[in-house]
Amino acid sequence: MNYDSASNIQDLLQFGEFGDVNPSITDSATYTFMQAKTMSETFDGTEKGCYLYSRHWNPSNRYLADAMAALEGTESAWVTASGMSAITTAILQICNSGDHIVSSLSTYGGTFAFLNNYLKKFNIEVSFVDITDLAEVEAAIKPNTKIIYTETMTNPMLQVSDVPALAKISKKCGAKLLIDNTFTPMIVQPALLGADIVLYSMTKFINGKNDCLAGAICASNEFIEAISSVNDGTAMLLGPVLDPFRSSSILKNLHTLHIRMKQHSSNAMYLAEKLSELGLQVSYPGLTNHKGHETLKRIMNPEFGFGGIFSIDMDSMEKASALMEKMEMEGVGYLAVSLGYFKTLFSNSGKSTSSEIPEEKQKEMGMSNGLVRFSVGLDMDIHRTFDRIKKSLVELELI
């Protein structure tokens, strides 16, 4: 694949009202109309392009939404106050009571909790599958299936979803394919591979600073207009609007995403290879022994590498905890949830970001109690980072 996402974003020349090189921030909740007729037509949907209330649209949010659409190659986008609000908005817009969803079992814990626990109150059924087993995916399809849901690279098991193959299945059964691309911006563009809707927690790599929460829904004009409808749009009526000041700061950070993703990937590859040489159980799609390696190579833009996330299996929670505490003391990074930060972050997934997933389901997806997920930062001296990890392992007698 040869994507041109960075160029697409940089081609969006959006000046401020005084010729500012950064677009102006619209610090307003409501907007004036010079004619009453224009206001009524804006509310009934016949007048396009007018701003009426910032829960509906805000110019600052539109700048960022346009950039996200350019990044993903979709017609339009909508930005939200968190990654979870992007996920829940998209799903609730599509599904009604009595509908069915097929989802990857390996998925972010908050997403799993929403699908497995929260949707029951709406009588929406969810079947969880091994998303890499296409026969299992097809077998799970029902006449009332409305969505096939997965992550390009699943959290935390780092399974790689075969997006083109899943797109064929979804189109054959008339379902929408929703892909969370939070782990792999720039690396994969699911919409160009057949996905209907691409979702993001912009909190992570997109923003890269861990200083705010934000999400995005990248989709067709028709879908974005549907979720923002004043009459029955899920985004408009539930109101998960992103603050325009945050939109402005994320938009500026987005212009360095292509540089950051290359460095995240380069650093992660180095650490994954070196830790594998020490005999540790390392899972990283950049390694040739990873089950999803060939799939990712087929759908990725190789310029941006295999991503900034890898995991090691320390067998037990006790060993994982000791290692994480020691690494933090040695200056490797922070024992913290989330990812995509310029500092390295690590956590024991089963007891943190995947804790909403019942233990039996964790075992079913192959998650060990000792799984440590690394989000590798933008370390300038990655050799020193490895030396500190190795020192921690040696002093704890883990190698």
* CB distance 198 to 223 below 8 Å: no
Neighbours of 318 (CB within 10 A): 11
Q: Which numeric CATH code is attached to 5-254?
A: 3.40.640.10
Query: Can you give the residue ranges of every domain in the chain?
Result: 5-254, 258-395
Which CATH number applies to 258-395?
Answer: 3.90.1150.10
377 within 8 A of 342, measured Cβ to Cβ: yes
The three-state secondary structure class of 62 is helix
Question: Residue ranges of the alpha helices (H) in 278-371?
Answer: 293-299, 317-330, 359-364
Task: List the structure tokens of 366.
Answer: 């192959």
Quote the tokens at residue 93. Answer: 């817009």
Question: Which of 286, 384, 283, 369 has the alpha carbon at shortest distance from 327?
Answer: 384
Dump pLDDT digits (tens) for 239-250. 999 999 999 999
Above pLDDT 70, what percent of the chain? 95
Q: At what angle do helices 382-395 and 257-277 cross, to 10 degrees?
A: 40
What is the tens place of the pLDDT at every residue in 17-67?
A: 778 888 889 999 999 988 898 888 877 776 666 788 999 889 999 999 999
CA–CA distance, 147 with 95 (Å, rounded to integer): 8
DSSP states of 148-200:
EEEESB-TTT--B--HHHHHHHHHHHT-EEEEE-TT-TTT--GGGGT-SEEEE
- DSSP per residue, 108-155: -HHHHHHHHTGGGGGT-EEEEE-TT-HHHHHHH--TTEEEEEEESB-T
User: β-pairing, 176-180 with 145-151?
Assistant: parallel
Residue 60 backbone dihedrals phi, psi, to 5 degrees: -65, -40
Cis upstream peptide for 244 (omega within 30°)? no
- What residues does 125 pair with on adjacent strands? 100
So what's the pLDDT on residue 1?
47
| pLDDT averaged per 10 residues, the chain (length 399) | 60 73 90 88 72 90 96 97 98 98 96 96 98 98 98 96 98 98 98 98 97 98 95 95 96 96 98 98 98 98 98 95 97 96 92 79 87 96 98 97
**pLDDT at site 4:** 64
